[in-house]
Chain A
Amino acid sequence: MELPLALVIGLLFASGTYCLLRPNLVRMVIGFGLLSNAVNLMMIVAGGYSTASRAPFVNDAADTTGLMDPLPPDIVLTAIVINFAVGALFLSICYVVFRDHGTDDPDRLARAGFEDEA
């Protein structure tokens, strides 16, 4: 199970980085979403996940061999919530930038300075 997951993680990292580097605000949001999913999958692999793993805490806990490590899914759950919230915030800031500056190209936003501060 590690090889397909590794390929998916690599693909997500590559496409996320590509989107993040595009001069387009919405693609930056999409790139962030792809990157965060790549990282979440990586966390699952870090916990030693395989298709043979059994769910922990479901049946009688007498036999503990082959149980999935429950900590990485906990971490991923927290990370998903955080990334969702921050991604929504990022998208809304992108919208405000588009509304105020009339462009979705970060390169065309005026260079930093206070000349335009209201």
Chain B
Amino acid sequence: MNSVVLFVLVPFVTAIVLALLNGRPRAERAIGAASTIALAAWSFMVLAQVDADGIQVSMMGGHAAPYGISFVADRLACIMLCLSTSVGAVALVSSFATVTPAQEKYFFHPFFQIALLGVNWSFLTGDLFNMFVAYEVMLIGSYGVMIVGASRAQVRQTLMYVAVNLVGGTLFVTGLALIYATTGTLNMADLARYTADLHGERAGIVTTASMVLMLVFALKAAVFPVFFWLPDSYPVVPSGMNGFFAGLMTKVGVYSLLRVFVMTFQQEGNEIVTQTLLVLSGFTMILGVLGAVCQWEIRRILSWHVISQVGYMVMGIGLTANPAIARAATAGTVFYIVHHIIVKSSLFLLGDLAEHVTGKRGLKNMGGALVLAPVASAMFFVAAVSLAGMPPFSGFLSKLLLIRAGLDGGNWIIVAIAIVTGFLTIMSMMKIWSYAFWGTPEAGTTAPHSFAMAAPASLLVAATIVLGVWAQPLLRLADATAADLLEPHAYIQAVLGNQAVLPGAH
């Protein structure tokens, strides 16, 4: 038992306290923000500890893995926790400017803490069944955040989001049942150990069963062909919170793909799954960006870009099918996830700000955000060109890593798609820029609260500049993470210790 479990426990306790404090918005804001910021600060300390001293494991109730429930903080989990808590804190603080009293009355703050709890838990869990439970907790929190305020559009889109995720959850347990029937375990360290030297018929069954999980994670990550739910759902999320949704919720799916198909399943034939993901990633990138090009609303354009950007990360996971470039591709994926979460959240927060100061939602009516909020507009510009992959920002480096891995592996088609997608991204970002930020604002529009919305996002924009200019620490960390994932001896050792191979279906 050690302290990694606090990443789940603190949001849980905070959610209960906030629910009891309902009706006192000031206290709720102060406690929610304080708890999330403290967790964010602490996550960086844990990352430094894990990077220096190795993986931290916590067994619930003291039961040994693989039967007990394990929480494992390795480098990848810690990087994701740093992102989830700090982006969560930024999104929460900037949502204070626009959240309405009615939304706060209907448990906006507790729902956010529950969503954060689920996100953190799904990064920490060392067990596939607990990943399902964490997904459900995260989703229940996100349903609450999405529907709070209950406008007609919110209710309608939440219904679709709930229905899609219910089917996803059902498929998740189906996949788990198939894997349990074949391998006798759902603990990821145990599965990695068992599948490492698995060949023949049984390996084929495990690959088939894992395809069901691939579908579930692809649904959560909004990979082609199961991305249809995203572009309609994310625009109805309350302003501020959509930075958290777009930045983190889909990345939980990408994280699961990385954790499960790069680290956990090592059997002969697993490359079929990753090659499938490589093909799907090409469609995801190009269809996502084409969807964005034809939209006329900032939130919708950015939502479609979430899909095309997920394509890049899944491309990195797909490239691991080739062992020669697996390490470079995994490191590139980790770097891309960090870059994407930071940039996407800041774009959503600043795009909301542009809608807020101009008081319009459709791009064709907007204009003049540059005059009304010059600093925030400059920040949006930086984040937009970073998303498109311009140097010197983090987007350039993260795309460079993935494209170089693709070229080294001879995957010309996917590299061509990635580059074309980058150009189309610039195009649709320039559309937002020229319609929403240029032009003259309508007379009488003021810029209320723009500072309160822009100040938290400035941290994220600063992060994309720093990661582009001074990338060496993150590059080293990403490379070490890739090595951990591809050779999970340390992970298995940390979770299972020196136990003999267990009896059962093995």
Chain A interface residues toward B at CB < 8 A? 20, 25, 28, 32, 35-36, 39-40, 42-43, 45-48, 69, 71-72, 75, 78-79, 82-83, 85-86, 89-90, 93-94, 96-97, 100-101, 106, 109-110, 112-114, 116-118
Contacts and interface: CB of A to CB of B under 8 A. Distances in A.
A89 B140 contact: yes
Contacts of B166: 32, 86, 90
Given A45-B181, A109-B156, A112-B232, A75 B129 contact: yes
Nearest to A93: B159
Given A78-B133, A89-B162, A110 B181 contact: no
Given A39-B173, A86-B136, A100-B152, 16 more contacts: A20-B167, A32-B167, A36-B170, A39-B174, A39-B177, A43-B180, A45-B181, A71-B67, A75-B176, A86-B162, A90-B162, A90-B163, A97-B159, A100-B156, A110-B156, A112-B156
A96 B129 CA distance: 32
A94 B152 CA distance: 12
Contacts of A118: 151-152
Interface string B111-142: 00000000000000000010011001001100
Nearest to B185: A71
A35 B153 contact: no
A23 B387 CA distance: 39
Given A39-B170, A46-B177, A86 B155 contact: no
Contacts of B151: 117-118
7 contacts: A35-B167, A69-B504, A75-B129, A86-B169, A114-B297, A117-B152, A117-B154
Contacts, number: 107
Main secondary structure of the interface of B (DSSP, over half): helix
A78 B169 CA distance: 13
Contacts of B140: 85-86, 89
A113 B300 CA distance: 10
B150 interface: yes
Given A82-B133, A85-B140, A114-B361, A100 B157 contact: no
Given A82-B136, A89-B140, A117-B151, A112 B157 contact: yes
Nearest to A113: B153
Contact of B177 (A35, A43, A93, A114): A43
Nearest to A94: B159
Interface of B: 67, 129, 132-133, 136, 139-140, 143, 147, 150-160, 162-163, 166-167, 169-170, 173-174, 176-178, 180-181, 186, 232, 235-236, 297, 361, 504-505
A46 B160 CA distance: 31
A93 B152 contact: no
A3 B506 CA distance: 24
B299 to A, nearest CB: 9
Nearest to B144: A89
A113 to B, nearest CB: 7
A79 B175 CA distance: 13
A101 B151 CA distance: 11
Contacts of B181: 45-48
Contacts of A90: 162-163, 166
Task: In the A-B complex, list the 10 residue pairs whose CB atoms are closest, starting with the nearest.
Answer: A46-B181, A112-B232, A46-B177, A42-B177, A117-B153, A39-B173, A43-B177, A46-B180, A35-B170, A82-B136
A89 B137 CA distance: 13
A62 to B, nearest CB: 16
B176 A93 contact: no
Nearest to A117: B153
A91 B361 CA distance: 32
B136 A112 contact: no
A104 B193 CA distance: 49
A33 B297 CA distance: 37
B163 A97 contact: no
B150 to A, nearest CB: 7
Nearest to A36: B170
B232 A106 contact: no
Contacts of A32: 166-167, 170
B174 A93 contact: no
Contacts of B163: 20, 28, 90
B441 to A, nearest CB: 21
A77 B236 CA distance: 34
Contacts of A106: 159-160
